[in-house]
Amino acid sequence: MNALALSTSSAFGITEEDVLAVLKQNVLRIADVSDKTVAFWAEEFFAMLGPDEHARVANAALASESGDIDDQTIAAHAEIALIMREQGLLK
């Protein structure tokens, strides 16, 4: 991991609640519609996130338009959704 990723990942951290919020916003796009709950998928997805994914989300948040917390959260959630699509969790 590079120094930028290390410094930004500690500046903006994502939580399982962030992942759950993104899944709730995209509930109709969840690829596996088995009997698993959205909370189950949030827990599973959050657990698989590594330092690179955390850094990507932090970098997206810190690069947000105004830099205020609301914009950072919107940018972070957009990056989380992108990672979910890349990993096949979302269609």
Is residue 42 a contact partner of residue 24, using CB atoms and an 8 Å limit? no
State mean pLDDT over 15-20: 97
CB atoms inside a 10 Å sphere around CB 31 = 12
Residue 41: predicted pLDDT: 95
pLDDT mean over 7-35: 84
What is the structure's pLDDT at 4? 43
pTM of the model: 0.85
Average pLDDT in the chain: 88
What are the phi and psi torsion angles at 28 (to 5°)?
A: -80, -5
Average pLDDT estimate for 63-70: 89
The pLDDT confidence band at residue 67, using thresholds 50, 70 and 90, is confident
